[in-house]
A and B are shown apart, each in its own frame.
Chain A
């Protein structure tokens, strides 16, 4: 039923994209002479490139397919994932945290923990990150495989292996540089496919007001049109199934701040910017497309719900929620745009894998091999290691793709992972950056118990011991538990252990001067033109988000 009928023209458009991306990889290979070229892209990219890569690294197919699925299942309230769950955290990263990251000259997020808390925290975070990266890369591969299987009839295994091979070639050749260039390109191709799809989809159901009427008459009901109505405490009628406190605190604060401000796959893009101001602007520039992307994910989700019979109703033999975008592509797009949309899906699948693989190889090489497992080798050794890790990571991701098959809604699965991995790390970073007293042991035990607490909530909910109402609510509570436990344990253990040595704090903690006499503060870089002022950009993004929240309340 989902099977597409792409013509030769569609395949040509798809092939052209592959040629360009592989071409970038091959050309970029000439730019790779050292491990730093391969793993860090030389810290010299302009802010618009890193900014678009920042948003595109998160615009993997799991995001697109998963958010359209959420749109069909939960309605307009899915915007919380963007306007509450992403934009505030991106602005916070750009204005508050990025200066600390950039000034510390770390090559990765775990390396910051090494400077601040020492080796135990460093190794714990590096390993957790490496495992999470491989899992998420696997989720992306699996998502690609099911879509290829449904749309083109490719066997799932073939789809996984072919797309993994393409990613391996262009990252293996050009490293982070070609990953970032590929992501920027992917950003444009995805939008070139999704924008026409959303426009045609709305027209297909007779315009926006007809869409609203049909959603009200659907299983979602009136609540499906509102982001905030029906989220009262003790009286949740909104399909999202969570009250406003768990939305704001769980999704908005703990889950999204954890993801956007500490996930190295994202931070790595900002770290490769050419100066501090550009690194700060990276997430701020990314915030603007992020604010508007729900238009091209949630709208197709809603249209699929009302226009496709039995959509999301497994029992009646209907399509799954995750089929929203693929089904509409097949039903509505003619040859030509169909090829662009198909290319956009491919591009986002591959970029999702590429972002994880290109951060994985940096962490394994610089955070596990160089400081611990293979110290003091030549740079050539680490460059080759980076390439080998890339290959091994892709192979492991192929196997984890099979793991993802057990979960109905891919996005909920990802949120579960983020809840376990990211929420406690955020707490550890904030305490580490702004509270001088946070000790090495405090940071380590807090992070460890936070991860364990998140895992415990996840396991209890999966086992049915506790019930939070919906999968989304479960991930909110799980993130919240991880965060609170991390903060409490970090503070208690820090106060009970010796103060950290001053050299652990120099130049990376608020108000503690570095060896160069520079005191880290939140003073913003002076820029002459308005569109380069971080605070102004961040303020604009937040203001736009507030307005949209009111409009869609």
Chain B
């Protein structure tokens, strides 16, 4: 007996995505916030002078953190664009 097939439970996620999920895709929110932080830090990092560098043990930490955040943002935005919500239907195979 294939156990997780429960009576009355829809087996695809197309129609049943929560109202929460249909309102907005969290991946875009993460991408947007990380992207905004990344842009700000990269600009701030490019403007950093000796004072900021000395504080962070000689590391251009604003610039590097900014670049890292932009990479994270890009990953989430690309993921969101290439696999929009509702496509992910093969999950419930048991």
Q: Does B associate with A?
A: yes
CB pair B55–A333 under 8 Å, yes or no, is yes
Which residues of chain A come closer than 8 Å to B36, judged between CB atoms?
16
Which chain B residue lies CB-closest to A192? B69
Query: Do residues A196 and B61 form an inter-chain contact, with CB atoms below 8 A?
Result: yes
The answer on a CB contact under 8 Å between A185 and B56 is no
Inter-chain contact A528/B3, CB cutoff 8 Å = no
In the assembled complex, which residues on chain A have CB atoms less than 8 Å from the CB atom of B51? 334
Inter-chain contact A337/B1, CB cutoff 8 Å: no
State how many angstroms separate the Cβ of B3 from the closest Cβ of chain A: 5
A526 and B33 within 8 A (CB):
no
Chain B residues contacting A511 (CB-CB under 8 Å) are none
Q: Which of A32, A181, A195, A275 has the most CB of B within 10 A?
A: A275
- Residues in B neighbouring A27, C-beta threshold 8 A: 23-24
> In the complex, how many residues of chain B place their beta carbon closer than 8 angstroms to a beta carbon of chain A?
48
CB–CB A44/B33 < 8 A: no
Contact between chains at A41 and B20 (CB < 8 Å) = yes
A181/B20 in contact, CB under 8 A = yes
Given A13-B40, A337-B65, are A521 and B20 neighbors across the interface (CB < 8 Å)? no
- 1/0 per residue A335-357: CB within 8 Å of B? 11100100000000000000000
Q: Which of A9, A49, A189 contacts B26 (CB 8 A)?
A: A49
Contact among A41, A334, A518, A532 with B48 in the assembled complex (CB-CB below 8 Å) = A334
Contacts A185-B29, A334-B56; A340 near B41 (Cβ below 8 A) = yes
- Is the beta-carbon distance between B91 and A203 smaller than 8 angstroms? no
Whether A45 touches B21, Cβ cut-off 8 Å, given contacts A188-B30, A337-B61, A516-B6, is: yes
CB distance from B81 to the nearest CB of A (A): 16
In the complex, what distance in Å separates the CA atom of A526 from the CA atom of B22? 27
* In the bound complex, CA of A32 to CA of B20 (Å): 8
- How far, in whole Å, are A24 and B45 apart by their CA atoms in the complex? 29
Decide: A332 and B55 in contact? CB cutoff 8 A.
yes
Determine whether A184 belongs to the interface, using a CB cutoff of 8 Å to chain B. yes
Q: Smallest CB–CB gap between A211 and chain B, Å? A: 12
Contact A44–B13 (Cβ < 8 Å): yes
Q: Beyond A185-B29, A525-B4, is A199–B59 a contact (Cβ under 8 Å)?
A: yes
Q: A31-B18, A177-B20, A334-B48 are in contact. Are A188 and B34 (CB under 8 A)?
A: yes
Question: Given A27-B24, A277-B94, A525-B94: A9 and B4 within 8 A (CB)?
Answer: no
What residues of chain A lie closer than 8 Å to B7, measured between beta carbons? 516
> A521–B83 Cα gap in the complex (Å)?
34
Q: How far is the CA of A46 from the CA of B84 in the complex (A)?
A: 13
Alpha-carbon distance between A332 and B16 when the two chains are bound, in angstroms: 48
Of all chain A residues, the one with the shortest Cβ separation from B22 is A31
Given known contacts A42-B19, A188-B30, A528 and B4 CB-to-CB distance under 8 angstroms: no
- Complex Cα–Cα for A284 and B4 (A): 19
Q: CB < 8 Å: which of B26, B29, B55, B91 contacts A275?
A: B91
Secondary structure of the B side of the interface?
Answer: helix
Distance, CA A455 to CA B72, complexed state (A): 46
A142 to B51: give the CA distance in the assembly, Å: 34
A337 touches B26 (CB 8 A): no
Instruction: Chain B residues near A192: list those with CB within 8 A.
Output: 34, 37, 65, 68-69, 72
Shortest C-beta distance, A387 to chain B (Å), equals 17
Specify which chain A residues have a CB less than 8 angstroms from the CB of B48 in the assembled complex: 334, 336
Which residue of chain A lies nearest to B79 when distances are taken between CB atoms in the complex? Answer: A48
Q: Which one of B18, B20, B45, B94 has the highest number of Cβ atoms from chain A below 10 Å of its Cβ?
A: B20
The size of the chain A interface, using a CB distance under 8 A, is 62
Closest A residue by C-beta to B4: A276
A203→B57 contact, CB < 8 A: yes
Contact with A along B34-53 (1 / 0, CB 8 A): 10110011001100100110
Cβ of A499 within 8 Å of any chain B Cβ, yes or no, is no
A17 within 8 Å of B (CB atoms):
yes
- Asked if A336 and B40 sit within 8 Å, CB to CB, the answer is yes
Contact code string B48-87 (vs A, CB < 8 Å = 1, else 0): 1001100111110110111011001000000000000000
> Using Cβ atoms and an 8 Å threshold, which residues of chain B touch A278?
91
Cβ–Cβ < 8 Å partners of B93 in chain A: 526-528
Interface 0/1 of A37-68, CB less than 8 Å to B: 10001111110010000000000000000000
On whether the beta carbons of A185 and B61 are closer than 8 Å, the reply is: no
Q: Report chain A residues within 8 Å CB of B29.
A: 20, 24, 181, 185
Chain B nearest CB, measured from A482 CB (Å): 34
- B3 contacts A523, CB within 8 Å? yes
Instruction: State A454–B25 Cα separation when bound (angstroms).
Output: 44
- Compute how far the CA of A178 lies from the CA of B55 in the bound complex, rounded to whole angstroms: 37
Residues of B within 8 A of A17 (CB): 33
Binary flags per residue of A310-340, CB closer than 8 Å to B gives 1, else 0? 0000000000000000000001111111001
Contact indicator A9/B57 (Cβ below 8 Å): no
Closest chain A CB from B31 CB (angstroms) = 10
A20–B33 touching, CB < 8 Å: yes
Within 8 A of B (CB), among A171-214: 174, 177-178, 181, 184-185, 188-189, 192, 195-196, 199-200, 203-204
Subset of 19 A-B contacts with CB under 8 Å: A17-B33, A20-B29, A30-B23, A33-B19, A44-B18, A46-B88, A181-B29, A200-B56, A200-B57, A200-B61, A203-B56, A333-B56, A333-B61, A335-B52, A336-B65, A336-B66, A337-B41, A340-B41, A526-B93
With A45-B20, A181-B26 known, 11 other A-B pairs at CB within 8 A are A31-B20, A31-B23, A42-B18, A44-B13, A103-B6, A185-B30, A199-B61, A200-B61, A274-B16, A274-B91, A337-B65
Identify the A interface with B (CB < 8 A): 9, 12-13, 16-17, 20, 24, 27-28, 30-33, 37, 41-46, 49, 103, 174, 177-178, 181, 184-185, 188-189, 192, 195-196, 199-200, 203-204, 274-278, 331-337, 340, 516-521, 523, 525-528, 532
> 9 shortest A-B CB distances, which residue pairs?
A42-B18, A334-B52, A31-B19, A44-B18, A336-B44, A177-B20, A203-B57, A336-B62, A204-B57
